[in-house]
Amino acid sequence: MKNTRIVKEVAINATKEKVWSVISDFGSIEKTSPGVTKSYLTTDQSKGVGTERHCDFTFMGASVEEKVIEWNEGDSIKIDIYERKNLPLVKDMIAEFILREDNGKTILRGVLDYSMSGGLGSLMNSVMMKKMNSKNWDKVLAGFKKFSESGELVDQNTKLDLEAVFEVND
């Protein structure tokens, strides 16, 4: 089964250290992501490879268990979304966030790699899931931008600057 890859970037008016402090607060994704209603660490460890969290989503009673599989302090984090509830036909999913400085701003790159199960999963992905996941990924990155710049908690009613997020062909 072929993986689908969605790569987006957003420029954030904050230092790389500030954005990293937001990204690396692994148990608190509900502060930045409009689709997450609740998140918490499920390990005693709060930083680095092996840290895990639980996330509840706003739609369909969905939830996930996530684990950090790569941690490059101050630069990037890769997450295996290894257990999914009420997210049918998703076979596997990996998210990665990469930071770089650019003219006093921080560029946040978000990479979402996933594959769907079976022929029906592939069909659903081509018909609607890729488009839906791409829009949701825009919201995730715009949520990190909003919170990093303003400190304002992000939820499903927060006005986000979705125009600031752009697709990258890599």
Q: pTM of the full predicted structure?
A: 0.92
Neighbour tally for 59: CB within 10 Å: 12
**For residue 111, what are the β-bridge partners?**
7, 96
Q: Is it true that domain 4-167 has CATH number 3.40.50.2000?
A: no
- Of 16-25, 52-61, 89-98, 115-124, the range with the highest mean pLDDT is 16-25
Single-letter amino acid code for the residue at 87: L
CA-closest candidate to residue 19, choices 99, 110, 77, 139: 99
- Tallying the residues shown for the chain, one arrives at 170
**Which of 39-53, 106-120, 154-168 has the least mean pLDDT?**
106-120
Q: In whole angstroms, what is the distance from residue 49 CA to residue 46 CA?
A: 9
DSSP single-letter state for residue 140: H
pLDDT at 89: 79
